[in-house]
Amino acid sequence: MTTVKAYGAFDSKKPLAPLTIERRDLKEHDVHVEIMYCGVCHSDIHTVRNEWSGNTKYPVVPGHEIIGLVKAVGNGVTKFTVGQTVGVGVMVDSCRKCKSCIDRHEQYCAEGIIGTYNAIERDGSGMITYGGYSKEIITDENYVLNIKETENLVGVAPLLCAGITTYSPLKFAQVKEGMKVAVVGLGGLGHMAVKFAVAFGAEVTVISTSASKQADAQKLGAHHFVLSSTPNALKPYDSKFDIVLDAISADHDYTGYLNLLGLNGKLLVVGLPEHQPKVHPFALIKNRRSIIGSMIGGIDETQEMLDFCHEKKIYSEVETIPMSYINEAYERMIKGDIKYRFVIDLSSL
């Protein structure tokens, strides 16, 4: 075992604080990563505060947008060498034998993924997984990503969750030149969705209730902006879009966004409101519309996305913070006061 410095929460009510954790001994196919940066995702807050079905195992060490350097490798490792820059995203294991795993859609593993934090390892050790708010992580090479980027590593970290979460559904919906895409919810996920949809050649519209997002939407590459703060603001856009990507995490209904979709239009859902959204069946049958949910992406697709971003110079917009700033960062995220992702510099720990 290796004792590693980390930051975590001991219960749902207390702020995060320094602690030490044990990392397992290097196994045959393990990669030992010295963590440089870790993005801060809304899931981290939900887990720390035990807001998702009460399943948080304390102490919890969050973080699943990890960038680091390979410090050591197990004897059987073939994909990585010492000194290489790598990433670890939302999952660190899955069953590897169900249809989803064999088809390389590990995120939909029939037995469930092993999350990078707050999960129990599959190896029978009973060890709880701890995430990237720590100095080092040891994980199986099959769930480690190769990072070609050398310059803007902070801007790459959020690609491992926010990036793949929006890339995967846009690819699934075959977004390409000539298509009209609307993005609602311009936060950590939404800002990546805009960048990807633009990169795929689509005509992109940001829909927001806040006029202050207009300049940002343009900066991110969006072609149009629609202010949706008044009840009838979306009426002129009925049946106008091929795709609406919904990245709103606050409670809302789907009907209003379904109405924006033309023939065979798709509402891509990546935001996770707490309460069940309403869907009017008439809004669904008109134009043969569909609602498609999507959760992160498989390992191969995540690698494809990282390589695509490297080639096209696509990064997340970030604010780099020291580890000790994390509790303030959470408060600011809850208020929506971040453009668009906090990334922790682990050299500060």
Please report, as ranges, the residues that interact with Zn ion according to CB under 5 A.
Answer: 41, 43, 94-95, 98, 101, 109, 161
Burial class (CB in 10 A: 0-12, 13-18, 19+), 48: buried
Minimum separation from the CB atom of position 213 to Zn ion (A): 22
Distances 46 to 68, 110, 236, 305 between C-alpha atoms, Å: 25, 24, 36, 26
Indicate the residue among 111 and 253 with the shorter CB distance to Zn ion: 111
Report the distance separating Cα 25 and Cα 111, nearest Å: 25
Closer by beta carbon to Zn ion, 62 or else 265:
62
Q: How far apart are CA 346 and CA 136, in angstroms?
A: 10
Q: 162-172 vs 188-199: helix axis angle to the nearest 10?
A: 40
Judged by DSSP in three states, 262 sits in strand
**107 vs 205, which CB is nearer to Zn ion?**
107
Smallest gap, in angstroms, from Cβ of residue 66 to Zn ion?
A: 11
Dist. CA 136–CA 159, nearest whole Å: 20
What is the closest distance, in whole angstroms, from the C-beta atom of residue 96 to Zn ion in the complex? 6
Closer Cβ to Zn ion, 169 or 256, answer by number: 169
> Smaller CB distance to Zn ion: residue 43 or 129?
43
Query: Shortest gap between Cβ of 109 and Zn ion (angstroms)?
Result: 3
E strands along 48-168, which residues?
Answer: 66-73, 85-88, 91-93, 114-115, 136-140, 144-146
Q: How far is the CB of 122 from Zn ion (least distance, A)?
A: 10
Shortest Cβ 38–Zn ion spacing (Å): 11
Q: Give the residue with the Cβ less far from Zn ion, 41 or 182.
A: 41
Helices and strands in the chain: count of H runs, count of E runs:
10, 17
Tell me the closest approach of the beta carbon of residue 248 to Zn ion, in angstroms.
16
What's the CA gap between 119 and 93, in Å, rounded?
10
Q: Which is nearer to Zn ion, 109 or 326 (CB)?
A: 109
Q: Taking Cα atoms as reference points, which of 340, 331, 342, 316 lies closest to residue 149?
A: 316
Smallest distance, Zn ion to C-beta of residue 72, A: 27
How far apart, in whole angstroms, are the C-alpha atoms of residue 117 and residue 121? 10
The residue (of 6 and 260) whose beta carbon lies closer to Zn ion is: 6
CA–CA distance, 176 with 196 (Å, rounded to integer): 10
Do 79 and 150 touch, CB atoms closer than 8 A? no
- Read off φ and ψ for residue 252, nearest 5 degrees: -165, 165
